């Protein structure tokens, strides 16, 4: 389609550029009857006269066109059928060319039906017709525009030829010159070496010599260099006039026209310019008595019609009195101050110097059309080129779009040339498969290089097979994408898992996009996940197993005492009569019962803790009370077993009230103590020491240690001591001791951890055990009526503060009010009148003097922003750990003001006019020790 468009355009272009030489062929029209005449030419009979106009020059020739215009006036189309031939003889410089034309023309004319009359325009045409009598036959000829005397003479010899002579009226022009410009006696006659030029030169010379009043100069532009021509013309002075006659054949061999040359030469001429053969006033000439070619043509046309209608040519005489017209240019007349009255009566005065546009519009239009067509052509061509370029670009585009972090390699395969264009970059992170300089490589090479990285032989073979281009293309015709995953190992790199995607970029699979994604990480991530899942599953298994184990243990431990109780009740029945034995039995039942109860309690505890159902309820527990509780238990426990006991080191805790779960802390403490007692043989010692340490801001640590010099624990056991039912089988002493539930320590650990506490154990077999427990607690002082460390007092609902603030405010009225408000809360005020003062006071004061700064923003000397920034800078320099709160007092609650405040280092703001509540709110926010 594009090709068609292009050639179409080209042909149009061609047609425009090539000068059109019209050749009108005679058409056979309807209603004509066809017959042959004597000379063999086909004759048609129609109501119209057939006239052939043979013009010597080209259709667009200046003079010819006017002549033909005249002709057409005389030859109405209802009567005549006029044909034209343009010989365009001006382009011929040699006779040889002319003879070629003759032959061509002859052939053409001979094929045409006979004419009623020929009209020969200008010399060469008549020449031709007279030379070819065989063609012309006896068809009459009417000529016009002929001035060559020889031809005229020759023509007059023939009876079938008549016409209108073209005799230039030099004489009238000489008269005119004399009348209008009496002082000018010299004529410069501009002519050329064309046939007409030669003839005209002769005519002129004859005429001017006959006139006798003028000197003259012949300026032949065909034989004179252009510069000289211009020079001579410029030199023409007040004594001269110029006659421009012929300017067709230029010195450089080119052909021009009268009009064009006149335009060219006029700027160099400052004397009146006449023309005799053609009206050149529109080119700026003065004018003249000029050959009227239109009138001549008309005359000739009339004569031709007469003859066609049947008149004998000899009855139509040759016109020797050539029609002329007197034409003068108004502008030039004014320039030379010639009045119209001085001119001949019938003179035509024209004011028609064509402006640039009028003169040049024709060539301009043609040029424009030509240029537009050329541009169109270029546009079409470049579109084709750019669409090719588009193809290239879009390869790049695609590769760019497709590339992202995960994709390491992109390329486009051009199937037709079996070439692969790679995106610049590397194949793997470790090394480049292809250096950037070789971006487009043959497909085979590409595949080979890729295959090198596959370390598994089988996979490599498969790869080479599957990567056959034809095979790939076939596959891609059926499906849009191919996806392959394989393991690669480049030479210096680790094994990686890569996924290759091949996508077809168009339906016919002319281009294939190939890109590689690294899935190594993805895979390893999956593996890791699987590993974690597996571990979790295992852990769950173990926990489950442990639970099952636990339950079976518990059921055993529960059944034992129940069994014992039932047995003992049997015994008791039997021992009814034995009071001692009965008492013993009952005692034992009680013991078992107690054991059972404690076991069940323990199990419930553990189960609650494990299922996160155990809630700690904190309450106030006076430390002193706690210690007395310990004593109450330890004393009987130890004395029963014959152990010494000691409670000491409790000074640290006195005076404190703990917020703690009473029941549980007691439980833990008791459990540890009872273990110590249990595993210490008679004569040993158990001691408790504990207190509350590191109290700060209402928080402290409850820390106690229980020491015994009992059997101790082996290293092995210490590792598992907190596990359920763990027994120290490695300790020989252990077997002698009665076992408890086996859950005690595990409960202790759980509860301690629930309280965010820790247990530490030190023990040596045979030497004893030390167990230390630390639990963070909230504490209060017991002195007074519950006073805390904060400065707020909420007794009467009012807020009271203490301390000192720094107030920076330049307006005295505002300062007074603010001061009063702040003082009302109990805080004292130091007043600074501007930011600079504020800064100075702050720097001089020791840290902590002021609890806050209230400052205005708009202040003279230094404003609030700058002061705040300076204060922060100072704090940084001083390495102060506490930032003083800076609160802005502003009338502008606009967001940018707030942002600026924050940036400058201020903490908050209150709006003006300030209110008491806001002052209090700020004070309580920033001075509560948070």
Q: Is 742 left (phi over 0), alpha (psi -120 to 50) or beta?
A: left
How far, in Å, CA of 773 to CA of 702, rounded? 8
Stretch that binds other proteins, among 327-335, 429-437, 472-480, 907-915 (CB under 8 A): 907-915
Q: Which residues contact 827 (CB under 8 A, 6 or more apart)?
A: 801, 802, 803, 804, 805, 851, 923
Q: How far is the CB of 785 from other proteins (least distance, A)?
A: 30
Instruction: Locate all alpha helices (DSSP H) within 315-433, ordered by sequence.
Output: 330-335, 356-402
Contact call for residue 918 and other proteins (CB under 8 A): no
Nearer to other proteins, 266 or 817 (CB): 817
Lay out the site mask for other proteins across 534-553 (x = CB under 8 A, - = otherwise): --------------------
Total residues binding other proteins (CB under 8 A): 16
Contact call for residue 805 and other proteins (CB under 8 A): no
* Total residue length of the chain: 930
**Chain residues 181-200 in contact with other proteins, contact rule CB under 8 A:** none
- CA geometry: angle at 233 spanning 231 and 238, to 5°? 125
Q: How far is the CB of 860 from other proteins (least distance, A)?
A: 9
Contact call for residue 813 and other proteins (CB under 8 A): yes
Beta carbons of 582 and 576 less than 8 angstroms apart: yes
Q: Which of 625, 916, 917, 928 binds other proteins (CB under 8 A)?
A: 916
Contact call for residue 824 and other proteins (CB under 8 A): yes
Stretch that binds other proteins, among 5-13, 612-620, 737-745, 908-916 (CB under 8 A): 908-916
Q: How far is the CB of 811 from other proteins (least distance, A)?
A: 6
Beta carbons of 694 and 723 less than 8 angstroms apart: no
**Chain residues 453-492 in contact with other proteins, contact rule CB under 8 A:** none
Beta carbons of 644 and 638 less than 8 angstroms apart: yes
Q: How far is the CB of 824 from other proteins (least distance, A)?
A: 5
Contact call for residue 891 and other proteins (CB under 8 A): yes
Q: Which of 39, 689, 814, 849 binds other proteins (CB under 8 A)?
A: 814
Contact call for residue 921 and other proteins (CB under 8 A): no
Contact call for residue 625 and other proteins (CB under 8 A): no
Nearer to other proteins, 31 or 913 (CB): 913
Determine how many CB atoms are found less than 10 A away from the CB of residue 690: 24
Residue 610 to residues 321, 533, 555: CA-CA distances in angstroms? 142, 23, 19
Contact call for residue 861 and other proteins (CB under 8 A): no
Q: How far is the CB of 656 from other proteins (least distance, A)?
A: 42
Q: How far is the CB of 620 from other proteins (least distance, A)?
A: 40
Contact call for residue 256 and other proteins (CB under 8 A): no
Nearer to other proteins, 589 or 832 (CB): 832
Q: Among residues 439, 444, 369, which one has the least CA distance to residue 409?
A: 439
Pairing mode, strands 273-275 and 324-329: unpaired
Q: Which residues contact 3 (CB under 8 A, 6 or more apart)?
A: none
**What are the φ and ψ backbone dihedral angles of 502, each rounded to 5 degrees?**
-115, 125
Nearer to other proteins, 498 or 912 (CB): 912
Q: How far is the CB of 696 from other proteins (least distance, A)?
A: 38
Stretch that binds other proteins, among 287-295, 485-493, 627-635, 812-820 (CB under 8 A): 812-820
Contact call for residue 913 and other proteins (CB under 8 A): yes
Nearer to other proteins, 344 or 913 (CB): 913
Q: What share of the chain is helix, strand, coil (3-state, %, to 5)?
A: 45, 20, 30
Beta carbons of 156 and 264 less than 8 angstroms apart: no
Contact call for residue 821 and other proteins (CB under 8 A): yes
Contact call for residue 448 and other proteins (CB under 8 A): no
Beta carbons of 787 and 781 less than 8 angstroms apart: yes
DSSP code string of 504-529: ESSTT-SEEEEEEEE-HHHHHHHHHH
Contact call for residue 811 and other proteins (CB under 8 A): yes
Contact call for residue 899 and other proteins (CB under 8 A): no
Contact call for residue 816 and other proteins (CB under 8 A): yes
Contact call for residue 912 and other proteins (CB under 8 A): yes
CA atoms within 13 A on the CB side of 21: 10
3-state secondary structure (DSSP) of residue 208: helix
3-state secondary structure (DSSP) of residue 343: coil
Contact call for residue 817 and other proteins (CB under 8 A): yes
Q: How far is the CB of 896 from other proteins (least distance, A)?
A: 10
Q: Which of 374, 812, 861, 893 binds other proteins (CB under 8 A)?
A: 812
How far, in Å, CA of 242 to CA of 274, rounded? 6
Beta carbons of 765 and 790 less than 8 angstroms apart: no
Contact call for residue 858 and other proteins (CB under 8 A): yes
Q: Among residues 187, 190, 186, 280, which one has the least CA distance to residue 229?
A: 190
How far, in Å, CA of 374 to CA of 14, rounded? 11
Nearer to other proteins, 311 or 897 (CB): 897
> Where does this chain bind other proteins (CB under 8 A)?
811-814, 816-817, 820-821, 824, 858, 891, 912-916
């Amino acid at each position: 389609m594009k090709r068609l468009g292009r050639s179409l355009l080209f042909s149009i272009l061609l047609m425009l550029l090539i000068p059109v030489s019209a050749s009108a062929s005679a058409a056979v029209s309807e209603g004509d009857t066809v017959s042959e005449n004597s000379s063999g030419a086909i004759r048609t009979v129609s109501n119209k006269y057939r006239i052939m106009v043979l013009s010597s020059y080209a259709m667009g020739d200046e003079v010819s066109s006017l002549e033909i215009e005249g002709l057409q006036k005389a030859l109405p189309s209802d009567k005549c059928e006029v044909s034209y031939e343009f010989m365009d003889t001006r382009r011929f410089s040699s006779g040889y060319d002319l003879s070629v034309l003759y032959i061509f023309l002859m052939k053409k004319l001979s094929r045409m039906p006979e004419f009623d009359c020929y009209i020969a325009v200008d010399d060469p045409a008549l020449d031709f017709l007279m030379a070819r009598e065989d063609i012309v036959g006896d068809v009459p000829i009417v000529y016009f525009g002929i001035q060559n005397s020889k031809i005229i003479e020759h023509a007059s010899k023939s009876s079938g030829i008549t016409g209108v002579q073209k005799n230039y009226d030099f004489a009238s022009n000489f008269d005119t010159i004399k009348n209008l410009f009496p002082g000018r006696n010299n004529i410069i006659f501009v002519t050329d070496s064309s046939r007409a030029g030669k003839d005209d030169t002769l005519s002129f010379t004859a005429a001017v010599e006959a006139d006798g009043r003028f000197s003259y100069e012949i300026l032949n532009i065909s034989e004179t260099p252009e510069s000289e021509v211009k020079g001579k013309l410029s030199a023409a002075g007040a004594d001269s006039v110029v006659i421009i006659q012929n300017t067709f054949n230029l010195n450089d061999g080119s052909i021009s026209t009268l009009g064009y040359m006149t335009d060219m030469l006029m700027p160099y001429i400052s004397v009146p310019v006449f023309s005799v053969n053609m009206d050149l006033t529109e080119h700026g000439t003065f004018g003249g008595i000029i050959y009227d070619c239109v009138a001549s043509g008309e005359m000739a046309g009339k004569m031709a019609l007469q003859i066609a209608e049947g008149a004998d040519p000899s009855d139509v005489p040759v016109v020797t009195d050539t029609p002329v017209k007197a034409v003068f240019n108004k502008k030039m007349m004014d320039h030379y101050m010639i009045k119209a009255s001085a001119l001949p009566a019938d003179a035509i005065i024209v004011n028609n110097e064509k402006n640039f546009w009028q003169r040049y519009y024709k060539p301009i239009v043609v040029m424009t059309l030509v240029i537009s067509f050329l541009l169109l052509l270029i546009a079409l061509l470049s579109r084709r080129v750019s669409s090719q370029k588009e193809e290239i670009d879009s390869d790049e585009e695609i590769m760019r779009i497709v590339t992202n972090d995960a994709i390491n390699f992109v390329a486009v395969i051009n199937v037709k040339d079996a070439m692969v264009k790679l995106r610049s970059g590397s194949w793997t992170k470790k090394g480049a498969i292809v250096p950037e300089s070789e971006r487009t490589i043959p497909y085979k090479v590409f595949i080979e290089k890729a295959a090198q990285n596959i370390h598994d032989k089988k996979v490599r073979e498969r790869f080479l097979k599957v990567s056959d281009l034809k095979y790939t293309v076939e596959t891609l015709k059926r499906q849009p994408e191919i996806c392959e995953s394989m393991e690669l190992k480049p030479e210096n790199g680790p094994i990686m898992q890569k996924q290759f995607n091949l996508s077809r970029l168009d339906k016919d699979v002319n281009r294939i996009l190939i890109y590689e994604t690294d899935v190594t990480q993805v895979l390893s991530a999956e593996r890791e996940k699987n590993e974690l899942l597996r571990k979790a599953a295992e852990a769950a298994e173990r926990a489950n197993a442990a639970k099952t184990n636990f339950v079976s243990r518990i059921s055993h431990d529960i059944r034992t005492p129940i069994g014992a109780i039932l047995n003992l009740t049997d015994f008791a029945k039997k021992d009814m009569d034995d009071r001692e034995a009965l008492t013993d039995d009952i005692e034992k039942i009680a013991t078992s019962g107690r054991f059972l109860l404690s076991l069940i309690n323990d199990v419930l505890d553990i189960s609650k803790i494990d299922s996160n159902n155990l809630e700690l309820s904190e309450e106030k527990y006076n430390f002193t009370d706690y210690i007395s509780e310990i004593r109450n238990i330890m004393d009987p426990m130890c004395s029963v077993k014959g152990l010494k006991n000691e409670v000491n080191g409790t000074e640290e805790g006195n005076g404190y009230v703990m917020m703690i779960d009473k029941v549980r802390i007691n439980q833990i403490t008791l459990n540890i103590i009872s273990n110590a007692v249990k595993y210490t043989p008679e004569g040993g010692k158990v001691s408790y020491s504990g207190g509350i340490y590191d109290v700060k801001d209402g928080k402290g640590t409850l820390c106690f240690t229980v020491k015994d010099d009992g059997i101790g624990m082996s290293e092995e056991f210490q590792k598992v001591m907190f596990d359920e039912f763990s027994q120290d089988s490695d300790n020989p002493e252990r077997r002698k001791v009665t076992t408890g539930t086996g859950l005690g320590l595990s409960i202790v650990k759980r509860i301690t951890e629930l309280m965010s506490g820790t247990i530490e154990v030190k023990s040596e077999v045979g030497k004893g055990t030390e167990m230390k427990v630390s639990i963070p607690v909230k504490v209060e002082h017991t002195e007074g009526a519950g006073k805390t460390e904060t400065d707020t007092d909420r007794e009467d609902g009012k807020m009271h503060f203490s301390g000192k603030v720094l107030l920076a405010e330049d307006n005295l009225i505002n300062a007074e009010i603010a001061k009063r408000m702040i003082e009302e809360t109990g805080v004292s005020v130091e007043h600074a009148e501007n930011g600079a003062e504020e800064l100075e006071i702050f720097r001089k004061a020791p840290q902590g003097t002021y609890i806050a700064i209230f400052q205005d923003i708009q202040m003279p000397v230094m404003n609030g922003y700058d002061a705040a920034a300076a204060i922060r800078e100072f704090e940084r320099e001083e390495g102060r750990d506490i930032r003083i709160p800076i609160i802005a007092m502003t009338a502008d609650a606009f967001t940018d003001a707030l942002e600026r405040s924050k940036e400058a280092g201020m903490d908050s703001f209150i709006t003006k006019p300030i209110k008491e509540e806001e002052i209090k709110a700020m004070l309580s926010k920033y001075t509560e020790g948070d």
